[in-house]
Amino acid sequence: MADDDLDDDMDDDEDLDDEEGGSGGGGGKKKILMLAIPLVLIIGGAAGAYFTGLLDPLIGAEESAEGEGGEGGEGGGEAAGPVAFTDLPEILVNLNTTGRKSSFLKIRVSLEVPNALEVDKVVAVQDRVVDAFQVYLRELRVEDLKGSAGMYRLREELLARVNAAVAPVKVNDVLFKEMLVQ
């Protein structure tokens, strides 16, 4: 009988050991998870704030971005001043069509130049710019002007043509004020 009691006591001890071992191992895993989850969330939040630009004022990224733009730009070391704009006259051209129905393009653009001193130089050769635009625009089809990709290609092409016409002055951008395809 004493042996039976000892066997029962030993079985109870083994059951207790199994329960403690199971909960002890789980407790260690819980502690790791309780530390790892907040750590991952904090790192993820910090990375998200960094990539969205929320941390730029804190880490001074605005100053370094301005410094990089000033060094590698095409301005040749000129001081960054206010830009100036000049409007071109309205241009109305026939578009290139294959059928009998004719299509028209009516466009008004504004040119962005680096400073007000350059505006006079651009206005002096304005007729040359309008001629370059008309020659190009007459060869366009309605399909060429569809969508944002068409507008982007048109802007890039007009910018290249205006810079060729007004060289050595550099035009920064061509801005569309009105564009009507009929």
Alpha helices in the chain (DSSP H): 2-52, 56-59, 61-72, 116-124, 126-138, 147-166
The pairing of strands 84-87 and 91-94 is unpaired
Q: Would you say 144 and 150 are in contact if contact means Cβ atoms under 8 Å apart?
A: yes
Q: For the chain, what are the domain ranges?
A: 2-72, 84-181
Q: Report domain 84-181's class.
A: alpha beta
pLDDT of residue 90: 93
Per DSSP, the three-state class of 36 is helix
pLDDT of residue 128: 93
Q: Would you say 103 and 95 are in contact if contact means Cβ atoms under 8 Å apart?
A: yes
Per-residue pLDDT of the chain in tens (182 residues, 90 and over written 9):
555 555 555 555 555 444 454 555 567 888 899 999 999 999 998 888 888 878 777 776 554 444 444 444 444 445 556 888 999 999 999 888 887 888 888 999 999 999 888 898 999 999 999 999 999 999 988 888 888 888 899 999 999 999 999 988 899 999 999 988 88
CA separation for the pair 49, 100 (Å, rounded):
58
pLDDT of residue 157: 92
pLDDT of residue 130: 92
